[in-house]
Structure 1
């Protein structure tokens, strides 16, 4: 009997610790590896970032979402990291010179260079936005319970321009980086200046 108590004496804290870690990973926090260069220069390929599952999503927030079923080319368990540009109900206009307007207000996009702002396609390929060409002066509205996302590296990003809007139920959480990342401010605390 004392042998059982001795084993449980050291086994119980391990089991409890594993259960606490599982609850934290499931409901609050986990780590995600950035795959690709779509968020360059602010996030690097293979960079490890923190995913906060209860984070508040605002314009400019970097999110992680389950890409399977959003992007036709995504495989099960694929996760994409992108920046939220448009919230549900927002009116988006993206002009040829790279200027981005949300609800008629020009967005600074200070997290990327002017050159990066104009790079990449201005044509929306998504079925949800057929006939809408960013840069043509047309305005489109983000549907209810969906988000419009772009990669910071506009020339090399597979984002809402291609697969359409990201449903709320596909969003896994918000991204935070460590203080050692010199771009932490534009990931962790970016607020779009108008």
Structure 2
């Protein structure tokens, strides 16, 4: 019979290994990772859209039928585009992120110079500059931006995986000491 700490360190170690492996794969093959993530999202959007359409025609969906039909159709179409045109979808996502980053930067700049600003202005201006620069980079080169996102995701997963792995081994060591004390 396993104690709670034995189960916990096992889960941490397996989770850490899985995250680290994913991170390494994403770093070695960033283009394939980006396309895979787009495909996963495409299938999710497609399935979600189908579920919305089914819900629209159920008796309890009558009040929101119009909204459910619209979101269902958009989900199905977006999913199909991502599934059958993943490269273009990854580039489109980078464009959308770039536009969002620009808008966020402008919003931060406006906030920095508003009368109601409670945050130090220099932090808002610095944030605005970073958002605008990142937005321009994404818009000027969306393909590289999509690859960079994959690589950052891979690096994050690798660091997270190693830290979880270290925590798992530390907990394993602690549970061994608890057993010896009993």
User: Who wins on radius of gyration, i.e. which is larger?
Assistant: 2
Higher relative CO (Cα under 8 Å, sequence separation at least 6) belongs to 2
TM-score of the two chains, using structure 2 as the length reference:
0.20
Greater helix fraction, Structure 1 or Structure 2? 2
TM-score of the two chains, using structure 1 as the length reference:
0.19
